Amino acid sequence: MRDVIRALVGLFGLGFLCMFPLVIVYFVVLHRMFRILAERHSDLYQRLGSPTLIANNTVINGLRFQWFLLTRRYIPLNDHVLTRLGNVAFLMTVFGIIVSTGLLISYIAYGVILGPPPR
């Protein structure tokens, strides 16, 4: 069992390294979505709190946008490019949640089963 846990911890580091480039791609997708929302759907963009990656990135704006993304409210806007970007961002969000949860569980399991590292 310890070998399995050690393998999972090894995957933790590998998973982290794999997630890093995906975060960069995710930020690019979100930036393009924000720009399209601001240019083509300005009323909705303002209702979402005019989110940006850095300048107006508050917790409330982030939660509003994540709700918009996870409930797929971009589809009824009939904007082909926004829908495509939204689908990519949706899948990346779900994938990120699943992988991060799995990595966290493996890391916790490692600590519970093997105990704290020796000093």
DSSP string, 54-83: STT--HHHHHHHHHHHHTTTTGGG--HHHH
Residue 111 included in any domain:
no
The per-residue pLDDT for 99 is 81
- What is the tally of structural domains in the chain? 1
CB neighbours (10 Å) of residue 76?
A: 8
Is 107 contained in some domain? no
Q: What is the mean pLDDT of residues 24-47?
A: 95
Give the confidence band of 30 by pLDDT, cuts at 50, 70, 90: very high
Alpha-carbon distance values, 59 to 36, 53, 79, 106 (Å) = 21, 12, 27, 28
The verdict on pTM exceeding 0.85 is: no
Mean pLDDT of 67-92: 95
**Domain of 73?**
20-101
Give the integer Cα–Cα distance in Å for 85 and 28: 10
- Answer whether 106's CB lies under 8 Å from 114's CB: no
Give me the chain's average pLDDT, please.
85
Q: Report d(CA 104, CA 113) in Å as an integer.
A: 14
Using DSSP's 3-state secondary structure scheme, residue 41 falls into: coil
- Residue 47 resides in a domain: yes
Whether 58 is covered by a domain: the verdict is: yes
Residue 15 lies in a domain: no
Question: Tens digit of pLDDT for each residue in 82-95?
Answer: 999 999 999 999 98
